[in-house]
Each structure stands twice: as C-alpha cells, then as structure tokens.
Structure 1
Amino acid sequence: MTPSDASGGTPSGASAGRWSNLDRPPLNAAALQRALVTGQGLWSSVEVVPTTGSTNTDLASRAAQLPEGAVLVAEEQTAGRGRLDRSWVAPARSGLFFSVLLKPGEAVPQERWGWLTLLAGVATAAGLSRAAGVDTALKWPNDLLVTVEGAERKAAGILAERVADGIVIGIGLNVSLTEDELPVPEAGSLRLAKAAVTDREPLLKAVLRSLEEWYGNWRAAAGDPAASGLQEAYAAQCATLGRHVRADLPGGRSLTGTAEAVDAEGRLVVRTEDGAHEAVGAGDVVHLRSVR
C-alpha cells in the first residue's frame, strides 16, 4: 500500500521506459519529506520506494526500530492486501499505496485502537475533499467510495494491523486508473469520478495532514470517539447507514437487516427483520438498497 530521486528522474533500479509515462510521474521523495517532516508534527520520516510487495508488511517488520509517524510509500505494490486477505493491485504510479506507523501508547486505552481504521477513513475522505474536489463516502468499515456515472464504486481501501507497540495503517487509493485498468467492474478511481486534481503529491500531502489532525484530536481525547468528534464525523459520511445490508460474518453466518448506527466501539449496529439489534464487529458488509 507505498523514493523516487529528488530530481524527479528515473528511480534507481527502474528501466527508463517503465517510468516514462508523463501522465504518471514519480513522486518527489525529497519534496514530500520537506513538506511533511517538520519536527513539530506527527510525521517523522517519508520513504518512497519504486516497488514492493506490501508496504504494510514492510513497515510492520521494522516497526519496533522506527519512531511513530514513519510513512512508507510505494510507486508500485505487487502484493497489496485488503481485509479478508483480498489483493489490491494497480499499475505503477496509478495510485497512492502507503502505510503509516502510529503508536498511541498509554495515552489511548488499547480497546479504543480499533477506531483507527475508521479514523483513517474519515481523514482520507476529508483530505480528498479539500485537495481533489471530489465527493466521497465511507462504506463500513474500511472502504472509500466515489460516484462514477451515478454508481457507487470503491476507490480506496484501508487495512490496520497491530504490531508490537502500535498500529500500521495501510491505505490504497486508485487515482488515475482508467476503466480498462480497473481490477474489477465495481472499482473506481478519482479520475473516473472526475476529480479536479489527480496529481498524487498534493493528494498524499492532503491525506497525511488530515490524518495528522484527526489522530491528534483523537489521541488528545484519550481515544474517545464521541469527545474527539470522530464518531459523529464517521456517521455523517458513512454510506452504509440507512441501507438494507447483508453482513457475512466469521464462521459462515449471514445477517440481513438495516444498518442503523455505529456504536461506541466502532461496530455496525444492524436491525434485523425481527426487530432485534446486533452489533457487527467483523465481517463483510454488502449494500443491498437504501431505506432512507
């Protein structure tokens, strides 16, 4: 989910032809480092690599040796992973594939760390709204949706993984993919959603600055989703709420009903056809129709 050289030329180890697409220039690692690593904020380093299997895997393997705020970005990710071990693959430099290391420590009880996946969704949506001028929505728990020709499509996925003393959050965002390049018909991209900006550098800076702001507020509130405003913000942007949904749960059980709320633990509360309420903490949710 994931340094070009500072000059913006061909990264070391990459063939000139492979990196010659002028519509998809490489990221400028030095410029990103200057803009984001100020010594006063969250981000402690920004590393950009030409290609890797998974930025989450790479960052998690080094988490114990790195300070909070390390960012790893890949121009190409060959073994990107989403929830339920699904793959996330896209052409080189067609999106933003990156992971960040967060260490809330004792400031936030560990039972509240699960909110970080939802926080990353809220922050990504807010950053893209400002920088790209595109409307987005969140699908519980970790997908970001855009509208392409009147239909909801997934443009980004978020994966949070626990490490020894923190959390690695990976974000994969389709930026310039064309219809022919989409991995599945249900996928989308900022380009297809007619975003005003598809330059990856300002988009990455906007998302990371938004993530820094939301994480700071959440951490200052000891991870309280209500006091930090996170629970309200997530509910306001969540396209799952008010929908008739099917939740495919661990163990092979399915649950059908209306998604009514996101509770204080970040779980999706579903009202079943018999009027009972069940909180879903893990599973795959399918939007069936709106009942709003």
Structure 2
Amino acid sequence: MAVSARTFPAPKVPEVFVMFWVIKLLTTGIGETASDFLGTWNIAAAGVIGVGGFFLVLRWQLRATAYHPVRYWVAVLMVAVFGTMIADGPHVALGSPYYVDSTVYLVLLCALLTWWRRSEGTLSVHSIVTSRRERFYWGTVLLTFGFGTALGDTTATNLHLGYWWSVVLFAGLMLVPLVAWRLGAGAVMCFWAAYSLTRPLGASVADGLAVKPLHGGLGWTTGVVTGLGLVVFAVLVGYLTLTHSDEEGAHAAHAHPPVVGAGPAPDPDPEPEPSQVP
C-alpha cells in the first residue's frame, strides 16, 4: 500500500491529558534554547542538526504504522528546534519585525486548518488514523511552532514586556481556551488554540532562564537550559514508554475497567464519523 493511502488501526498521536501538556511545554522550551545554542556554537552544525534532524525524524514518524512515545515526542522536539529556526530566519535575514512574522504564520496556520477541515471533515487529533491526516497534523504542528515563536518574541521584544511578563501573559491566555471548553465551546478548536499558546509560553520560560540578567533573565545559558530540559524530557518520555499511560483510551479504560464475565467493555468515547466532528 502506498504511503499516501495508508490507514492505521489507532490514532498515531498520544492521548491528551496532563502529561501531554507538560511534555509539550517542555519541548517548546528546549526547542527555543537548543536553536539559540546551536546558532551561536556553529551555524553549519545548526543547519545539519536542526534541518537534517527534522526531516529524518519526521520521515521516521511518518513511515511508522503505530504510535510510539519515543518516536512521536522526538519528532515534536525536532519540530520545535526547526520551528524556532524558521521563525527567527525572516527576522535575521530580512529584518522583518516579529509581529509581522507572527501575523504571516497565523495566516498560514489558519489557511492550513481550513484546508484540513474541508478536506477531511475534522480537525480532531483522535482522527489521525490515515497518512493524509497525519501529514495535515504535522504541518499544523510545525506552523504552530513558527507562529508561537514569533509571537513570544513579539511580546518580549516589540512590546517590551520581557520574558517573565510574557510568561504571565501567555499563562493567562492559556486559561481562555480551557474556560471556553468548560463553558461548552468546541473541544477541537480549544485544543488547537491552547496548543499554539504552549509555544510562546514555554519559549518565554526557557529564555527567561537562559539569558543574562542584564537582559532580564537568570543567566543559566542556553546550553545548560537545553541540557537540563533534555534530561527531564528523557525521563518523562521513558515513563510513558514503560507505562503506556498515554495510549489512546488508556485513562478511560482505567476509570471504567471491564466487569469480569460481562463481555468486552463498550467504547467510552466512540469515534464519531468525520462529518460529526467539529
């Protein structure tokens, strides 16, 4: 079967619960400081690791037929590094303001989400069971990193909020989709709004830890922050690999274990048809 026409027995993404958001925020911070560290250390190495690593890992992920936490989260991590590079590139090469870059990426992100929705009938991450939807998914993830990186730089630099006030701002904004979801707003759009905001939040925290006190940071340096982040990342992903607690339906199965002798438990959250998903 051609790669472009494959279907998978289960979604190739993790279940969305607390650990998902913790690791996602962690990857955003690592991506920010790792990109900065590589850029100051060796431009050629930054290109090989950031660009080459991104395409190799994404190819590894796309060729697989099932979800695996190591493969998935390493792909997210490399998207974070590459996404930082493509967001900083126009500013460095062309001198464009960060707010212009963030606007461009936002327009591209909305355009891709619209194309995905019209093409597949759903933007739900629970529906990533075909290779076509997976490509839409990773394209969207990449643009959220580009948009979020430029947006974080906009608040810290163009709006002169600095890193820590940017952290406060984006932490507060993260509550908006959560509250909206609790009040009945569509879960899918709330998810993507929160997902996009994790990037500037995590990157602002990482920058605040890494940059010199003269520039409003704690001065830990990008190398130290990247190294510490990678250690925590490896521990958390290792935990998921051993426990399988992020597989689709794992938490629902734990909350509603099947009754012995009662036959198979019904699906607590059956996947609706694409036309029924917002």
TM-score norm. by structure 1 comes to 0.29
Q: Which has the higher strand share?
A: 1
TM-score norm. by structure 2 comes to 0.30
Q: Which has the higher helix share?
A: 2
